[in-house]
Chain A
Amino acid sequence: MLIVRYQPRHIFVPTGLLLLAAAVGSIFIGPLPISIQQAIKALLNQEVAPHVSLVMQQVRVPRMLLCLAIGAILALSGTVMQGLFRNPLADPGIIGVSGGAALGAALAIVIFAPLAEFYPLLLTLGTVPVFAFFGGSLVTFLVYQLGSNQHGTSVAIMLLAGVAISALAGAALGLLNFYADEQALRDLALWSMGSMAGATWPNIALAWGTFITLFVCFRQDANKLNAFLLGEPEARHMGIQVEVLKRRLILLCAAGVGICVSLCGMIGFVGLIIPHLGRMLVGPNHTLLLPLSALLGGLLLLIADTVSRVIVAPAELPVGIITALAGAPFFITLLFQQRGKI
């Protein structure tokens, strides 16, 4: 099998253009028909009908920005986790990290519900993401410890641990629903529908801040992550402080997934599909794979979200349903390919 590597710019330029087209397209497409002229006027703050201006400035543009950041974070976390586990089936959703983060987020919503009335931002930007982060990192450490031995990571144990942890998180979420008071219940229901509808400017700032932080940190570790694919002892022999690297990457991934889950609920499979697509285009080298994953992740989520808005308009499907419809068959195909190794 020969490896043909394209010039990076032959991949990145078209992807970037596609992303730009999708971003522009997504703000013109929606249940409310808005002509292109009106839309541009609304964006430039010129005189238009108030509902047009409202939809453009408060709904479609913020939502597009949130999609880009969340998609990129999910894709980056998936890429790094697959590298860390040295396994192409690792995905925050499948191995239970999203479940752990969701449990953390729900816990925060229930505990801090009495405060939500007075400090709404504290809840959405403070306690919920922090709890989601702790839930996510706990699960990642647990799954890594369960699934890895001196010969690498065991896919079977990793996936089974994911099943068990997701089930546990689901049960605990159910219990929380049962015990939550009315206010908390409302918040929980709203949150667990998991959509990009909560695109407020503070949320967008948090998402973009997280994305930029993750991207900068991951880029610095890209070469080390390449060496890590050889195995832990090999990476150690090449001068990498393996334990430090592992801990840092796990915490960063958990932070990324935790913030995504707390802002938009569980959106599966982006972290699974995108790294594969990226590797097909530029190979497993993380210095190229990470930026490409960020672009492709934003693109995928943007398209999925646009579809979710128009397909049953004026109602809206949760975007997780669209990504799952695309991702689950993909995952099954991967399982077929890996059958011999599990």
Chain B
Amino acid sequence: MLRLLAKTPHPAHHFNDIHIPQAAPLQVSHLSYQVQQQTLVDDISFALKHGELCVVLGPNGAGKSSLLKLISGEIGLAGHNIRLFGQPRDIWPDGLLAQHLAILPQHSQLSFAFSALEVAQLGGLSLPVSQDKIRRIAEQNMQATDVLHLAQRAYPSLSGGEKQRVHLARVLTQLSNANNHGLLILDEPTSALDLAQQHKVLQLCQRLCQQGITVLMVLHDLNLAAQYADRILLLKSGQLRVDSAPTEALTTENIEQIYQYSAKVMAHPELGYPIVMSESNH
């Protein structure tokens, strides 16, 4: 009850124009987060470049989800440690922020019988455009995420992977007004997808990056990250241990150090990106 009655901050003041050409889509500086004397995120700093596809990797409990939640504002008070497009996160007005920052969660609780198209249209909530326009945008995005043929299906009757792609269409709809100033955060977007769909989603993310959207995602599959990421962040015990391109990040030593597991890393024979394999079978 106290939580419900607590005042929510109302940050509508001192907000400058966001279209600062050089401002990084996301700048995290000395970000830490503790819960009951346990440090979940420990002094992390990094900045994303415009149109970059950045993948966060790390073992279970490394602080990946906490990092995403801090950036999305679900936990903690970001203060000025997190800047989005040059502005501290907490002075962004809620409605405007939603047009530039979208988050795809791992699971959704939706159990009411919306059609898939209606779910995708929900992303247009804070857009200053008409319902018809939102519907067209949502349909385009469903085409892009390969679920347009499911448009009239009841959302609760879809499979996990189909739901995930409908939600991807929803967050893309949310960012459709971002004009090159969009940051998309995905929390394990491929967890419910089959092999072909995993690659399709990552390829879609690559296309989005070419269109000027910046993508930050958590993945578990090192090979998927190696193939598609521009940049990899390796986390362990809440610390950012490695921050570099896939070829430098995914080395036998780094994997040994982060995951405590010996792996063999080879270069892809044609495309050159690293391939991670298990070293032994015991």
Contact = CB atoms under 8 A, between A and B. Distances in A.
Contacts of B4: 141, 144-145, 243, 246-247, 250
B6 A243 contact: yes
Given A152-B109, A230-B108, A234-B108, A239 B125 contact: yes
B60 interface: no
Contact of A238 (B96, B98, B115): B98
A63 interface: no
B74 A236 contact: yes
Contacts of B111: 86-88, 341
A239 B97 contact: yes
A247 B6 CA distance: 10
B73 interface: yes
Interface stretch (B38-46, B151-159, B191-199, B235-243): B151-159
Contact of A283 (B1, B5, B118, B153): B118
B126 A2 contact: no
Given A237-B102, A238-B98, A284 B114 contact: yes
A2 B113 contact: no
Given A239-B97, A243-B8, A233 B113 contact: no
A151 interface: yes
Contacts of B72: 233, 237
B144 interface: no
B201 to A, nearest CB: 19
Given A86-B111, A231-B108, A142 B94 contact: no
Contact of B153 (A1, A152, A284, A285): A1
Interface string B102-126: 1101001111111100110011011
Given A3-B113, A141-B1, A239 B108 contact: no
A5 B123 contact: no
B95 interface: yes
Contacts of B153: 1-3
A229 interface: yes
Contacts of B141: none
Contacts of B154: 1-3
B6 A239 contact: no
A60 interface: no
Contacts of A144: 4
B1 A145 contact: yes
A309 interface: no
B32 interface: no
A230 B126 contact: no
Instruction: Sort chain B's interface into a size bin.
Output: 35 or more
A230 B110 contact: yes
B122 A226 contact: yes
Given A3-B152, A238-B126, A142 B1 contact: yes
A241 interface: yes
A279 interface: yes
Given A227-B122, A243-B6, A2 B97 contact: no
B269 to A, nearest CB: 41
B94 A239 contact: yes
Interface string B63-76: 00000000011100
Nearest to B98: A239
A146 to B, nearest CB: 10
Given A1-B154, A227-B122, A237 B1 contact: no
Contact of B105 (A86, A223, A227, A234): A234
Nearest to B103: A237
B125 to A, nearest CB: 5
B214 interface: no
B125 A224 contact: yes
A61 interface: no
A88 B111 CA distance: 9
Contacts of A284: 112-114
Nearest to B4: A247
Contacts of A246: 4
A284 to B, nearest CB: 4
B109 A5 contact: no
B204 to A, nearest CB: 19
A241 B8 contact: yes
B6 to A, nearest CB: 7
A236 B122 contact: no
Given A2-B154, A141-B4, A239-B125, A283 B115 contact: yes
Contacts of B125: 223-224, 226-227, 238-240
Contacts of B95: 239
A86 B156 CA distance: 14
A2 B115 CA distance: 8
Contacts of A283: 113-115, 118
Given A239-B98, A283-B115, A233 B174 contact: no
Contacts of B110: 86, 229-231
Contacts of A332: none
A285 B95 CA distance: 21
Interface of B: 1, 3-6, 8, 72-74, 94-99, 101-103, 105, 108-115, 118-119, 122-123, 125-126, 152-154, 157, 174
16 contacts: A1-B153, A3-B114, A5-B115, A86-B112, A152-B109, A229-B112, A230-B108, A230-B119, A233-B74, A234-B108, A237-B98, A237-B103, A238-B126, A238-B174, A283-B114, A341-B111
